[in-house]
Amino acid sequence: QVQLVESGGGLVQPGGSLRLSCAASGTIFSPNTMGWYRQAPGKQRELVATRSSSASTTYSGAVTGRFTISRDNAKNTVFLQMNSLKPDDAAVYYCRLLMGGQDNWGQGTQVTVSS
């Protein structure tokens, strides 16, 4: 069974930066895709960025140029570097692992962007 644990969320001012981490434990095999999704109150959960075990990436149009997703495959960890944060980036950010037909989610970490 796979477990995903997010960390790094918190309060940041507009224009600031934050780095999220997600560590996966359990039986991890390749190929797989890890990614970040976010959900603001009253809104649907949406894709932020994904990165496959072969380093292919996708980004939503809302974060392209500001966010960067990276992975440490040896540690089964994915990161999300968030720069130039805006108030509408505020949400709960969830880590996701797609692997061999499995769909695993973390519990989420809160990101608040406020002055």
Between residues 1 and 62, the one the model is more confident about: 62
Nearest to 33 by CA among 104, 81, 106: 104
Q: What is the pLDDT of residue 18?
A: 98
Q: What is the pLDDT of residue 110?
A: 98
Burial 45-68 (b: 16+ CB within 10 A, else e): eeebbbbbbeeeeebeeebeeebb
9-33 mean pLDDT: 97
- How many degrees, rounded to 5, is the angle at CA 18 between CA 54 and CA 56? 15
pLDDT in tens, 36-90: 999 999 999 999 999 999 999 999 999 999 999 999 988 999 999 999 999 999 9
Backbone dihedral angles phi then psi of residue 76, each to the nearest 5 degrees: 50, 50
Say how far apart CA 12 and CA 23 lie, in whole Å.
Answer: 22
Q: What is the pLDDT of residue 36?
A: 98
Q: How confident is the model at residue 107 (pLDDT cuts 50, 70, 90)?
A: very high
Say how far apart CA 112 and CA 115 lie, in whole Å.
Answer: 10
Say how far apart CA 28 and CA 78 lie, in whole Å.
Answer: 13
C-alpha distance across the termini of the chain, in Å: 40
